[in-house]
Structures are given as C-alpha cells and as structure tokens.
Amino acid sequence: MHQNMQTGQISAQLNHGGHEMFDVHEVLSGTVGALNLYTLCQGHVQDQELKAMLSRHYQHITKEYNACVQAFQTGKDPAMRTESYKMAQDNDFVYGLKPAQPVKPIQSVTELNDQCVSALLLGTLKSNASSRGMATLEVTNPVLRRVLADGIPNWIEMAYELSIWQNKNHYYQVPQLNQQDMTSMMNAYAPAPQSQLPLQ
C-alpha cells in the first residue's frame, strides 16, 4: 500500500479529498460573490416587492454560507440546520413575446435599474446552483456533501422566484412553440417498461 494512502482513520475535520478542496473553495467564493453583488445592488432597487425578495435571498444565502463554512472546517453537522427556501410568489408565467427595447450594457452605475439588477442577480443564482451541483459530486466528506446537496434546490428556487418577478414585469419573456410542435415534442418519448436489467 502506498505510504500516503490512508483509510478511515482521518479525523472528520480533515476528511476531504483534493478535488473537493478546490471545488468547495469555488462554491464558497461564488457564494461570497453573490452576497457582495446583493449588497452592491440593493441600493439601486426601486420596486418594493423586489427589495423584499432580495432581502429574503440575502438572509437565506448568508445562513447557508455559514453552514457550509462550518461543515467544511469541522467535517461535522453545522450548528444551524439546513432549511428550505420558500418563495413568496405564485408560479404563474406569462408566455409569449411582446415588443421591447433591445437590451444593451449600461455605461454608468446611475443606469442601474430593477431590470438590470434582477438580471445580474438571476445570473449569479443560476451560476451558484450549477457550481454547487458540480462540487457536490466531488465531495467525499458525507456531512459537507449533504449540506451542499441540500442547498442546491434553494438556489434553484430563488432563481425561479426572481425569474417569475422578471416575467411579471416583462423583463424575462418566455416564447412558446406552436401547439402542434409542442405536442409533437411532448409525445416524442414513451415510458420504459418496468423490468430488471437483462443479464448477459
């Protein structure tokens, strides 16, 4: 056996693999970036519903960040249990495209508005959800893996909530296929028969 190979005798605190260390650093850095972006943008938000949503997101992300840091540093259950994020909106999307002004990059901070802020934050929420999914697959510490995995649906839910708000305000338009194409695509798959994997 190789000298550096160890079995289950590593303390919970050091129970991390190399890929895990780098990926979790990426996740935690991304979370800090998200929190920083929320802080930078909050003063530019005009819509009260959006302000309240961003405040809820910030509080949830902060709790989740602290739980991840604690699980990462100790290898043990964090003092604060992971919680599910509950969005305050319904989930009704308006489908179809309406004429709108083309979007272009802003030239000054004074141009930051609710549309721009919500787009920036939606991007960071989606990016963090993806990086958590990738990192979770590399984590060997069982506690940290669970904490990260439990958080993924929350980032998805926050992104979904923000996209619904954008859609309601005509910032996030959702085109649809015509009914015939949609029906054809929906019926392109059939259920698999319930059977055991064939033995060779």
Residue 25, classed as helix, strand or coil, is helix
| pLDDT at residue 97 tops 80 | yes
Q: Is 12 exposed, middle or buried (0-12, 13-18, 19+ CB in 10 A)?
A: middle
DSSP letters, 112-142, are --HHHHHHHHHHHHHHHHHHHHHHHTT---H
- Residues with Cβ < 8 Å from 163, sequence gap 6 or more? 122, 172
Containing 181, the helix (H) or strand (E) segment is helix 179-186
| pLDDT at residue 2 tops 50 | no
pLDDT digits (tens, 9 = 90+) for 181-196: 999 999 999 998 888 8
What is the C-alpha to C-alpha distance for residues 109 and 98, in angstroms, rounded to an integer?
A: 27
Q: Is 42 exposed, middle or buried (0-12, 13-18, 19+ CB in 10 A)?
A: middle
Rounded to two decimals, what is the model's pTM?
A: 0.87
Mean pLDDT of the chain: 90
Residue 103, classed as helix, strand or coil, is coil
- Residues with Cβ < 8 Å from 42, sequence gap 6 or more? 51, 54, 55, 58
Question: CB 63: neighbour CB atoms within 10 A?
Answer: 18
Residue 83's pLDDT band (cuts 50, 70, 90): confident
| pLDDT at residue 1 tops 60 | no
- Closest residue by Cα to residue 129 from 163, 175, 105, 80: 163
| pLDDT at residue 16 tops 80 | no
- Residues with Cβ < 8 Å from 73, sequence gap 6 or more? 13
**CA end-to-end span of the chain:** 35
pLDDT digits (tens, 9 = 90+) for 24-63: 999 999 999 999 999 999 999 999 999 999 999 999 999 9
Q: Which pLDDT does position 196 carry in this prediction?
A: 81
Q: Which CATH architecture has domain 12-89+110-173?
A: Up-down Bundle (1.20)
- Closest residue by Cα to residue 80 from 89, 70, 92, 93: 70
Q: Which pLDDT does position 91 carry in this prediction?
A: 84
For the chain, domain boundaries: 12-89+110-173
pLDDT digits (tens, 9 = 90+) for 125-145: 999 999 999 999 999 899 999
Q: Which pLDDT does position 81 carry in this prediction?
A: 81
